[in-house]
Structures are given as C-alpha cells and as structure tokens.
Amino acid sequence: MSLSLNVLAERFTQLDGLLSSHTSFWQGVPFDCLDLPWRESHPELCEWLDTQSLDELESWKADPAALSKVLSKWLPDAETLVGLSAVATPKSSDAPCDAHWSTGVPGRKWSQISTFTSAVIGGEGERWLEWCAGKGYLGRILAVTKNARVTSLEWQQALCEDGQAYADKHKLLMQFVQGDAFANESRQLVESCDHAVALHACGDLHVTLLRHAVEAKPTSVSVSPCCYHLIQSKQYQPLSSLAKASELSLTKHDLKLPLQETVTAGQTVRNKRFIEVSFRLGFDALQRRLSKTEKYLTVPNVQKSLLNEGFEAFCCWASEQKGITLPKDVQFDDFLKIGESRFHTVEKMETVRTLFRRPLEIWLVLDRALYLTENGYHTDVSTFCSRELTPRNLLIHAIRKK
C-alpha cells in the first residue's frame, strides 16, 4: 500500500462507505438471533444459506475470496470488499536470523518474529524500544540483526528477569524495564528511542504507543496490532480525522469480529466448539422459556471438562451461575436439539460475517496509519507474513518526515 496520504484516505473512505451501508450483515450478536435476520430483505440469500451443511459453511469461511464470489449474487459489493482488503507483502532484504537465537521460542512464534523483523526496513536508528516485550524474543533478534541497542518494556517482573538473564548470558545490548505501558513514565522510553516496535500488543496497548509516538516523534515506529476489542472505553475511539467523521459506531463486540478470522481449525477443535456452543444456545432456549424473555443470556467461561458430563450437567452449572432455579420436569433433550439447530443458524450468520472481518480490520489499521500520517509520518501498511502463520499479519510501518 502506498505511503501517500491520499491513497490511504481513499482506501479508508471506500471501506468506510461499504461497511457503513452493510451494518445489518456484520454488526449485532448472532447468539441473540433465533433465525436469520435477513429473511425479508434477502430471502434468496437465506434460502442459499439454508442449503449449506456445517462442513460447507466451514469451507466458505476458510476462503473469503470464493465466498465473496458466491455472495455477490445477493450482495453486489462483496468482491469489492475483498479487493479493498488486499494488502501486499513487501520483499525483505534482510538475511534470516540464525536459528541459534530461537532457543526457548515456540516454532510458530519464532517464524512470526523473524518475518516481522525482516519486514521492518528503513528509519531504524541505533536505539530501539520493544513495547510489551514479554521475554524479549523480538528484542533479541533486533539486537542481533539490526545491530541495535534495545530497551524492552514489560509489565511482568518474572519475564523481565528471564529476558535479562538471556541477554546478559549472550552479551546482547538489551535492557529490560519493568513497567506499565499505560503509565506516564513509559512515554519517556518512546522519547529516548529511535525506533519503537510492538508485535501483537493488544488493543489500547499498541494505541498508547502510537499516541506516544505522535507526541515524542521517534524516527520510526512499527506495529502489528492485535485484540482490537481490549480497550478501556465502552466504544471504539477513532484516531484519525476521517475515522472520527465516520458514521460507524463500534462496540467491543464489533471489534472482536476481525479476530474470528483464524487459521482453519482441526476437526477435534470444531467438534468441541459445536458441543459448547450448542450447550450454550440450548441453555439459552431453556432460560428464555423459564424467564419468558427474548433476550440472550450470557454465561461465564466454563471448564472444558464439564462439557464431558453432558448437557444436563451444563444446564445445572449455568443455572447456578445465573441464579436460575430449574424445575424438575425439564426435558433436556428437547432443549439440546434447539441448541444444535441454533448452532447451524449461528454458523450461517458467521459465514456472511466472514465477508466483513478483514475489511473491518483494514479499516481499523488504516485509522491508525492515517493518524500517524496526519501527524508527520510517512506510513506504510503491509503484511509481514502469510495468513497461515498468523491471521494477525498486518504491519504499520511509519518513518517520520524530515
């Protein structure tokens, strides 16, 4: 994607218009719905969804491009949405980091860190800041491949100690700082660095880094966002002027939508999800009957071992959690069948929502990129690795204008 503010703004504006005009297809909570909410507005779409098995729906969700082609019969903007979500992966000039430095790093994480580091090119400087560092896996590669002096900010003291011990043992120029990324003191770290980086810092954590960068003006900043819903406010707070002018109002639930774009799960994981969601929806049907309500009732996270005890045991546990007294004559099998049927309905809705997951994520990332561009940075948006390695593969790389 071009560094041009006009190009970023044009892409954002197009996405914003399409997302705003199709909110009925992606906003809202599928668990609330007893049937597809588009029966009247898009009957032929609903008829097609009704013909799809669970396996077929899973296949469509795994291939948004193919899904957009079939949905374009009823949603003419479907393929345009997918096209606006396309982001290139730049070629890296860096040689891969020696695997010697991968000690203790899970294989998938090592690959993510390696490709992220290789994609961060230009405007580096000598003093680097690793934001939300953990044990400093990213920082150690930066110290080795970028010839950098790295400061690693991490909240957990134990992780700082482990990371510092590794750095000292291998004579890496790394200094760990135990601290809160939200504290005012953390801004001073941004002020004293040349290049700040954050790989998969959640929600307001990476937004805080971007805000500090705008104020402190380091030479460059590179961020791969994650967990957009982990914010302190109830609603999403836009950063750029264009996003602030948008008609979209995003709840925390809306912000979870991009995270549902995952690498295709195995059959065992899918089976477990079917059981848990069917149990939850079956219990919801039961509580609606008992409470004479039409509103979905959320239930806390459950220990997965409880699911092995069956639907009745789950209902007893859930009713206790929510203060509901179950009558003795409950026909649990009937409500389980309702839950399994509603699971299919949820999957139909989630299949359509798949079309909007990446576009919404691009919207959110472009808001961040535009914010940096409006505040004195040349900003590039790209992917740093394949979707199979991690669906959270978007990279915002910004270099301060001279």
| pLDDT at res. 2 | 39
Per-residue pLDDT of the chain (402 residues; tens, 9 = 90+): 434 678 899 999 999 999 999 999 999 899 999 999 999 999 999 999 999 999 999 999 999 999 999 999 999 999 999 999 999 876 655 556 777 888 888 888 999 999 999 888 776 689 999 999 999 999 999 999 888 899 999 999 999 999 999 999 999 999 999 999 999 899 999 999 999 999 999 999 999 999 999 999 999 999 999 999 999 999 999 999 999 999 999 999 999 999 986 555 677 888 899 999 999 999 999 999 999 999 999 999 999 999 999 999 999 999 999 999 999 999 999 999 999 999 999 999 999 999 999 999 999 999 999 999 999 999 999 999 988 899 999 999 999 998
Render pLDDT for 352-366 as a digit per residue (tens, 0 to 9). Answer: 999 999 999 999 999
pLDDT at residue number 263: 56
Report the pLDDT value the prediction gives residue 4, as an integer from 0 to 100: 63
Nearest-angstrom CA–CA distance, 377 and 3: 9
pLDDT of residue 289: 96
In whole angstroms, what is the distance from residue 190 CA to residue 101 CA? 26
